[in-house]
Amino acid sequence: MAGVLDVADLEITYRTARGAAKAVAGVSFRIATGEYLGLVGESGCGKSTIAKAILGILPANGRVTGGRIDFEGTDLVRVAPAELRRLRWSRLALVPQSAMNGFDPVYTIAQQMDEAIRAHAALPAEAREARLRELFAMVGLDASRLADFPHQFSGGMRQRAMIAMAMVLDPTLVVADEPTTGLDVIVQDQILARIKEIHDRLGKTMLLITHDMAVVAENCDRIVVMYAGKVMEHGGEAVFQAPWHPYTLGLCNAFPDIDDGDRELISIAGAPPDLVDPPAGCRFAARCPFATARCREAEPPLVEVAPGHVAACHHLDRVDAMRERARDPATWLAAAAAVR
C-alpha cells in the first residue's frame, strides 16, 4: 500500500527553562493515499507538535531529535530548505486552529491566497483570479468577499477561507490542526463537513488533529490515540467501537456516545505527566484505574491486537473486564481518588 505520509520513530524535543521536554517520544504511523486519519489526544500530548513538524513550523525552541517524516518519498526532517519550500502548500497544506489568526491582518484574503499561488506557480492573473473564485464557491463563500480584510470575516467564514486557501494549489495532503476550536457548535459541524466533503469528493489525503473523540469517530477512517508523546492505540474504526487501551476507553467515556445518548460523560481525573522528567513504565499508569505494579516499572510495547490495530498495554488479556468496568463511573472516581 503506497503511503503518502510515513512517520517513523519521530522524536521532538522542546528546550524549556527546566530542561529538555520530549513532547513526542517515538511516534510512528502512516497515512495511505486518500485516507482520512485522526490524531487524537488531550492537549499537550504532542499531536499539534507533530502537525507543526510535518509543516516545518516548530517554534524556535523545538527540534526533531529523531526519526523520519517521509512524505511522498522525501524525508521532511532532512530535506533541503529550498526543496521544503517547494513542497509546502503545493503538496502539503495546513488548516490551522481557528482560534489562531492565520491571516495577516493588513492584506486582503484574496492577496494572501494569491500570494500562495504566485510563490509556487507561474499563472496568468485571470487564471489565478478564476481559481480563487472557484475555491470560494467550493467552501460556500461569496466571491464578492474576496477583497475583504480578515477582520471583516466572522470566525467561521475565516476558517472556511482558510480551507479555501489550503486547497489553492491542490495539495496531496491537508493537515487540519484543531480546525474548530473557538467556533460555536453549529459552525464547528459546518467546518468539519466541508473538510469531509473535500476528502470524499476530491480524494484528498487528510490528517485531522483533535481532542474530540466524537469528531474522529464521525469523520475518520483510521485513528491514532496519543498520550504524553506516545501512541497508545492505533487502528481503524475498531479503536472507538471496541477500544483495547484503558486511555481510549476513558476518552470514549468523556464524549457523548452516538449509540447510547443517556450514558453519562465521565472524564479522566488527573493531569498528564511531566515531560521533562517522564515516569518509568506506562505513561498513563498514574491515571489508569487498571494499573498494576508492572505498569509503573516496564513500558508496554505496541502489540497487534487485530489486523491493522495495535495497542500498548500490559493488560490486553483482561480487555473484556476493563471494557466492562470502564463503563462504570465508580471505576474512574476511584482512580481519581487514588490520583489525589
Partner 1 sequence: MTGFRRYVVRRLLLLAFVVWCILSIMFVLFQLLPGDPTAIFVDDNFSPEMIDRQKQLWGLNDPLWVQYLRYVGNMLTFDFGNSFFQIEPVAHIMADKVQNTCLMIVPALIVSVVLGTLIGAVAGWRRGSAFEQATVATSLFLHSVPSFFVGILALMIFAYQLRWLPSGGMVGLGGPEGLWEMIASRDYWVHLLLPGLVLVSREITGPILLLRSSMLEVKGSDFLDILRAKGLSEHRIITHATRNALLPLVTYVAVMTGLLFQGQVLLEIIFAWPGIGRELVQALNDLDYPVAQAALYVMALVTLLLNLVADLLYGVIDPRVTYD
Nearest approach in angstroms of CB 85 to partner 1 is: 5
Nearest approach in angstroms of CB 105 to partner 1 is: 6
Closer to partner 1 by Cβ: residue 100 or 127: 100
Nearest approach in angstroms of CB 94 to partner 1 is: 5
Residues that bind partner 1 (CB under 8 A): 52, 55-57, 84-90, 93-94, 96-97, 100-107, 115-116, 119-120, 149, 151
Closer to partner 1 by Cβ: residue 19 or 182: 182
Sign of CA dihedral 73, 78, 82, 84: positive
Nearest approach in angstroms of CB 100 to partner 1 is: 4
- Which residue bears the cell 468496568? 325
Report d(CA 83, CA 56) in Å as an integer. Answer: 12
The single-letter code of the amino acid at 201 is R
Closer to partner 1 by Cβ: residue 87 or 223: 87
Q: Which of these, 244, 213, 249, lies nearest to 306 by C-alpha position?
A: 244
Closer to partner 1 by Cβ: residue 106 or 125: 106
CA 57 to chain centre: 15
Nearest approach in angstroms of CB 96 to partner 1 is: 6
* Contact criterion met (CB below 8 Å) for 295 and 288: yes
Closer to partner 1 by Cβ: residue 46 or 150: 150
> Residue 9 has which C-alpha cell?
520513530
Question: DSSP secondary-structure letter at 148?
Answer: S
Q: In this structure, how many other beta carbons lie within 10 angstroms of the beta carbon of residue 303?
A: 13
> Residue 278 has which C-alpha cell?
517522564
